[in-house]
Amino acid sequence: MDTPTASRALATEAVHAGRDDLARQGLHAPPIDLSTTYPSYDSQGEAARIDAFATTGAMPEGPPVYGRLGNPTVARFETALARLEGTESAVAFASGMAALSAVFLVRGSLGLRHVVAVRPLYGCSDHLLTAGLLGSEVTWTDPAGIAAALRPDTGLVMVESPANPTLAEIDLRAVAHACGSVPLLADNTFATPVLQRPAEHGARLVLHSATKYLGGHGDVLAGVVACDEEFAGRLRQVRFATGGVLHPLAGYLLLRGLATLPVRVRAASANAAELARRLAADPRVARVHYPRIGGAMIAFEVHGDPHQVIADVRLITPAVSLGSVDTLIQHPASISHRIVDTTDRKDAGVSDKLLRLSVGLEDVEDLWRDIDGALGRPDRGAGLYRYAAPPRGATSHNEPAPASAP
């Protein structure tokens, strides 16, 4: 697939990246290649191509070899996502956790099993590190302590910004500087390349649970790492060896999802900014977390019973995951971060009163009507709380997402 010679805006790349060769083939929609294997009448040449892949992880020239090594439809999505993130390459996997596991395995294979990480992270990412399931050892620290936590066997520094579920933000450029020569992995699932591109701030690896905003419709499970080609080659080797491949149909859906990513993120962000403003002024809400970068995610703590709020929504769907066109709400302490130790969870700001809202594309007035009804009377479950103004400590940044990509 061709690489454009001139720089294109993010909205243009979202529509055209990974599709640049279609018109010359007489096609408009990308084809879906469902083959698991491909014919070859040159067994010696095939052997040489497989040997080359085993050495570098670079995709073989010529026709595909085997579905576990690579797939043309998935490759289109990888090309497009790399363009949007501003990296040389991207490697897609069957889920976000499969993608993260592959990164750990790459570094671990070099004897670099130590990871420095900053909480909060997505609950399963936290668990994967803490439990040492892949032989890794983790040191948890705050951003200011990263440099001091590095060791000779440190293979990776991992951060998430905005973080799941508190939406805490990190200065990625400062963190990348503190990492020195150790690769920085930034989970960019919440922000997407529409709001930030971590590679521009020094991150070598950019992780996405592509299940979320990249797919955008709650119908595809996937993960992807955007990175330089050298690291991509190692990731492809791990993917081939472990089998964590992305199905071609999922690759097609993700490529289709990218075309509307900027429009969806900006529209949902405008809804979220307005809801954050209203929640911050509501006496039933103790605190609102909304990132300065904007985005479609809100976290808020209630005075009353958060489980009752979950039970009482009608338009909004109480469900795990995020980033879909419809609005979802969940209680992180019970679900997404249940697997994290209680003390660690609370130290990271994930209180038992916290709710996480993934704002979709519905009309904002309909969403507010549902939230307002679910919050109930101002005194429900809150004792004698009677606030006439936003509660102390509430934070809300009310500007919608920027109209152009950073």
Whether 401 has a pLDDT exceeding 90, the answer reads no
User: Does the structure show a pLDDT above 50 at 404?
Assistant: no
In the set 49, 119, 122, 290, the catalytic residue is 122
How much is the average pLDDT of 4-17? 87
68 tagged catalytic: yes
Tokens 């690489």 correspond to 3
How many CB atoms within 10 Å of residue 140?
18
Among all chains, which residue has been given the structure tokens 């576990």? Answer: 68
| 17 in Cβ contact with 84 (< 8 Å) | yes
- Give the pLDDT of residue 6: 63
Q: Is 212 a catalytic residue?
A: yes
Residue 273 above 90 pLDDT? Answer: yes
Beta-ladder partners of 186: 159, 206
The predicted-structure confidence for 158-199, as pLDDT tens digits, reads as follows 999 999 999 999 999 999 999 999 999 999 999 999 999 999
Q: At what angle do helices 261-280 and 364-375 cross, to 10 degrees?
A: 40
Which pLDDT tens digit goes with each residue over 64-77?
A: 999 999 999 999 99
Contacts (Cβ under 8 Å, ≥6 apart) of 385: 283, 284, 303, 378, 379
Percent of residues, the chain, with pLDDT higher than 90:
82
| Residue 270 banded pLDDT, cuts 50, 70, 90 | very high
Token duo for residue 228:
């330089």
Is the pLDDT at 381 greater than 90? The verdict is no
Secondary structure string (H, E, C) spanning the chain: CCCCCCCCCHHHHHHHCCCCCCHHHCCCCCCCCCCCECCCCCHHHHHHHHHHHHHHCCCCCCCCCECCCCCHHHHHHHHHHHHHHCCCEEEEECCHHHHHHHHHHHHHCCCCCEEEEECCCCHHHHHHHHHCCCCCEEEEECHHHHHHHCCCCEEEEEEECCCCCCCCCCCHHHHHHHHCCCCEEEECCCCHHHHCCHHHHCCCEEEECCCCCCCCCCCCCCEEEEECHHHHHHHHHHHHHHCCCCCHHHHHHHHHHHHCHHHHHHHHHHHHHHHHHHHHCCCCEEEEECCCCCCCEEEEEECCCHHHHHHHCCCCEECCCCCCCCCEEECCCCCCCCCCCHHHHHHCCCCCCEEEEECCCCCHHHHHHHHHHHHCCCCCCCCCCCCCCCCCCCCCCCCCCCCCCC
Give the pLDDT confidence of 245-264 residue by residue, as tens digits: 999 999 999 999 999 999 99
Name the catalytic one among 76, 83, 107, 187. Answer: 187
Tell me the CB-side half-sphere exposure of residue 114, using CA atoms within 13 A: 11
Which whole number is the average pLDDT over 319-338?
91
From the list 19, 204, 212, 236, the catalytic residue is: 212
Given 8, 68, 256, 380, which residue is catalytic?
A: 68
Give the pLDDT score at 389.
31
pTM, two decimal places: 0.90
Active site residue 252: no
Is residue 386's pLDDT more than 50?
Answer: no
Question: What is the percent of the chain with per-residue pLDDT over 70, rounded to a whole number?
Answer: 91
